[in-house]
Amino acid sequence: MERCPCCNARLTGEKLCPRCQADLSSVLGSEELARHWLNKTVQFWLAGEPQMAILALTKSLNVKQTSLALVFRDFLVEQECKNVMGLLEKKDFAEAKQTLSLLHGLSHHHKFLKQLSGFTRYLMAKEIIERSTRQTINIFNELKYS
C-alpha cells in the first residue's frame, strides 16, 4: 500500500500513518495474506493442481483484488474452460460440473463460463434421458419376450 486509506498520505511501510496516526496493521496484514494466497495459487498451478489453484486464488481475491491476481484469474479461467471442454468430450460430467462450480467462485459474470455451464447441464440431462430410454426399452423387451 502506497497511501493511507484515511488521509491519503504517502506511507513509509510503518504500521501507523505518519500524518493521521491511523493503525494500518490490519490493512497491511490483509495485503500480505492476499500475496500469500496468490503465491500458493501459482505453486498449485505449477504442481498440476488446478482445482487447488482455483481455491487459493479465490481466497486471494476475496482478501484483495490486485491487478496481478485478476490477470491470473482470467488466465486460469481460460485454461480451465479448455479442460472442461475436454472433460465434456470424455463425458466426465461430474468432474466438469465440479470445475465449473469452482470457476464460478472466481468469476461470477464471465459470459463463456455461463454458456459452458448451460451446455454442461444440457449434456447431463441428455445423458440421463438417453440412459432412461435405454433402460425402458430393455425392460420392455424383457417383458415382451418372457
**In whole angstroms, what is the distance from residue 112 CA to residue 89 CA?**
17
Pair 91, 127: CB distance under 8 Å: yes
By C-alpha distance, which of 5, 52, 54 is closest to 25?
5
Please write the tens of the pLDDT for every residue from 108-125. 788 899 999 999 999 999
pLDDT computed for residue 11 by the predictor = 84
Rounded Cα gap, residues 12 and 23, in angstroms: 13
Report whether pLDDT(146) > 90: no
* Residue percentage of the chain with pLDDT more than 90: 69
* Residue ranges of domains in the chain: 25-144
Instruction: Give CA–CA dist 72/44, Å, rounded.
Output: 13
For position 4, what pLDDT does the model report?
A: 86
User: How high does pLDDT run on average in the chain?
Assistant: 91
Residue 104's CB is within 10 A of a number of other CB atoms, namely 17
pLDDT of residue 3: 86
